Amino acid sequence: MIKVIAFDLDNTLWESEFVIRRAEARLMQWFKDNVPQSKYDTIDMRGLRQEVLKKHPELSGKVTGLRRFIISEILKASTVETCSIDETINAAMKVFLEARNEVELFPGAIDVIKILAKRYIIGAITNGNADINSTTLAAYFSFSFTAETVGSPKPCAKIFRHALNFTNCLPQEMIYVGDDPILDIDAANALGIHTVWLTDSKSTKGGNTKANVKINNIKELTGAVSAINQSLDQQ
């Protein structure tokens, strides 16, 4: 019997690229207005990120920690006084994270979750740093575990086991919904968790394992959950 339905967040419940680009733009404007000497808008952020990760691989999977570190490096290279760097980092991160959490749900997502939340424990398992409690979905989610808080990103099993332990749930009592065939579907399948792959209708390339159900729109999720329950009843 299914007890828990857990979700990936970015590109499963909302489109992430637009959200992150907007958050980046707000952060850049904040630097222009408040720390113009940093020349934040002239920095190759992608290149700097790659350089930092080469030197500090321990920051891999820690998206918030990585961003804080990069901002710190930028400020240290500018004329910002050392004593005010931490304060400036906190202010900058506040701007970014507030924008990061201004997500626009896929059509039908909140209606589907409202229906499922009446019967199942709903939660999030994500590698990103969106805070579900800062979105319109907060009332329906009982837990949210990120790679950063758990200390292990998908596809590692640790983050999934963390959710299983928290909900006192067996793998076969959970459904995991995600868009990435490897990080989401293969990873959850490896633990015996039922999976629903949300993917573009034109996408044919999956991971190494097959999802229990494939859907092309989040509105199809209630039907997918019913199909998994029916298959369990027949066992």
Question: Are the beta carbons of 126 and 8 closer than 8 angstroms?
Answer: yes
- Residue 116 maps to which CATH number? 3.40.50.1000
Task: Give CA–CA dist 106/39, Å, rounded.
Answer: 36
Task: Give CA–CA dist 44/41, Å, rounded.
Answer: 8
pTM tops 0.85, yes or no: yes
CA nearest neighbour of 187 among 5, 4, 8, 13: 8
Same domain, 116 and 159: yes
CA nearest neighbour of 102 among 6, 177, 22, 31: 22
Host domain of residue 198: 4-14+103-233
Q: Is the pLDDT of residue 201 over 60?
A: no
Q: At 62, is the secondary structure helix, strand, or coil?
A: coil
User: What pLDDT was estimated at residue 36?
Assistant: 86
* H helix runs in 78-154, sequence order: 85-100, 109-117, 147-150
Which segment of 96-100, 199-203, 204-208 scores lowest on mean pLDDT? 199-203
- 89-108 tens-digit pLDDT: 999 999 999 999 999 999 99
Same domain, 96 and 132: no
Peptide bond into 171 cis (omega under 30): no
- 134-169 tens-digit pLDDT: 999 999 999 999 999 999 999 999 999 999 999 999
